[in-house]
């Protein structure tokens, strides 16, 4: 992963070679470079693993394999073929759930990873690890979609209180039954009826009807569905990356964003991108991610666009959320607090706080097991002690919080 969210922090020989290899895919006029004679192949392999690029690099650099050490080639080959098995299992699940949705006539937009797989990785899921598929539907179709998931045997992720996500979030997560035996690769559905939840989802900022009107057809695992327009996708993916993965982003995240921009070419409407970011209050993440992409591979983002974004003035909520994420180092322990401070209906904030601090008895018993002497309220004490311990262990940086936006 990229050091402290800064993709250009450590440019050693191996990192520069990796950037040059990816640039050969981004820029058609650039050939695949020869590896330096003094390249540390062990370090280079570790770098590929950290940046989640090992399976893609196996395919990307086929023409160079004769120049690689045999042990390095074998490790990439094993990575690639192990993910072929996992990717095939995931594809079967994706095809089944998308087929069920389209047969019912539900318009469905595929977000992020599985849209990237079709557009950037030649429909090959073995090149891009995805632990879930993210789907966006219209709010009016939520109940019908969930019925389809349940009929397919999927299980809803445990909520702190029944219906919590419907009341305060913009999505749910469903897990498929009979998960793969490959460790760490449980597959799920990230089910959304709105795009963002950091800060708290505000449906007034996002026109769902417009998203579907501007969406484009895409074939995912043999099923005709939709994907976001390239302008909407750029803003959404930049916001998701900066707001949710700022301190754990990998090089492949920026590579995919750059590839999306290059692929769109002259058809990309940068004025629409900036307009969309203004409407969604996502100027800060758009500006941040595009600057990082341009620092990694100069020439992808027009300098006029970066200059225009620099002159844009984000509103107070945007500035507050940006400072919050930076000060808390993106730690999930503070996500709930951010929701309490930014939820658009201020009258709901105390109720959300109470439900987060005191989950339902059923959830507490599921999460922490049988209580001592059957006194289930004692489980809250166990929860609070555990939360304090996690905060102390993760508190490696200062937590001087910004003042909440008014």
Where are the chain's structural domains?
Answer: 319-394
What is the reported pLDDT for 183? 43
Local confidence band at 5 (pLDDT 50, 70, 90 cut-offs) = very low
The pLDDT > 90 percentage for the chain reads 55
pLDDT digits (tens, 9 = 90+) for 276-288: 999 999 999 999 9
pLDDT digits (tens, 9 = 90+) for 63-82: 887 888 999 999 999 988 88
Mean pLDDT over the full length of the chain: 87
Query: Which of 264, 33, 221 has its CA nearest to residue 114?
Result: 221
Task: Summarize the confidence of residues 351-377 as an average pLDDT.
Answer: 86
What is the reported pLDDT for 4? 42
Is the predicted pLDDT of residue 6 greater than 50, yes or no? no
Per the model's pLDDT, the better-predicted residue between 272 and 61 turns out to be 272
Prediction pTM value: 0.88
What is the reported pLDDT for 392? 64
């Amino acid at each position: 992963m990229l050091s402290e969210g800064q993709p250009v922090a450590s440019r050693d020989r191996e990192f520069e070679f990796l950037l040059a290899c990816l640039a050969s895919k981004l820029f058609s006029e650039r050939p695949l470079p020869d590896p330096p004679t003094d390249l540390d192949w062990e370090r280079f392999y570790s770098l590929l693993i950290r940046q989640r690029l090992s399976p893609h690099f196996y395919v990307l650099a086929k023409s160079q394999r004769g120049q690689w050490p045999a042990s390095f080639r074998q490790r990439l080959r094993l990575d690639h073929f192990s993910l072929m098995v996992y990717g095939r299992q995931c594809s079967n699940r994706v095809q089944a759930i998308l087929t069920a949705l389209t047969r019912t006539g539900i318009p469905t937009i595929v977000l992020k990873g599985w849209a990237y797989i079709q557009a950037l990785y030649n429909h090959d899921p073995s090149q891009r690890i995805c632990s879930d598929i993210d789907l966006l539907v219209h709010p009016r179709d939520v109940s019908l979609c969930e019925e389809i998931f349940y009929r397919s045997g999927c299980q809803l992720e445990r909520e702190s209180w029944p219906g919590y996500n419907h009341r305060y979030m913009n999505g749910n997560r469903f897990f498929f039954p009979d998960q793969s035996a490959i460790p760490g690769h449980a597959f799920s559905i990230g089910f959304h009826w709105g795009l963002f939840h950091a800060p708290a989802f505000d449906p007034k900022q996002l026109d769902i009807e417009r998203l579907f009107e501007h969406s484009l057809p895409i074939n995912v695992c043999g099923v005709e569905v939709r994907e976001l327009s390239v302008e909407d996708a750029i803003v959404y993916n930049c916001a998701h990356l900066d707001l949710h993965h700022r301190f754990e982003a990998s090089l492949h995240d920026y590579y995919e964003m750059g590839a999306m921009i290059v692929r769109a070419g002259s058809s990309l409407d940068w004025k629409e991108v900036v307009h969309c970011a203004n409407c969604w209050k996502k100027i800060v993440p758009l500006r941040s991610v595009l600057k990082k992409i341009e620092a990694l591979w100069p020439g992808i983002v027009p300098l006029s666009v970066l200059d225009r974004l620099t002159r844009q003035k984000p509103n107070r909520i945007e500035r507050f959320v940006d400072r919050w994420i930076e000060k808390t180092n993106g730690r999930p322990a503070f996500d709930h607090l951010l929701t309490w401070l930014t939820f658009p209906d201020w009258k709901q904030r105390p109720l959300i706080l109470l439900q987060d601090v005191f989950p339902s008895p059923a959830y507490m018993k599921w999460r922490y097991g049988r209580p001592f002497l059957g006194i289930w309220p004692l489980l809250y004490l166990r929860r609070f002690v555990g939360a304090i311990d996690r905060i102390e262990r993760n508190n490696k940086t200062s937590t001087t919080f910004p003042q909440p936006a008014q």
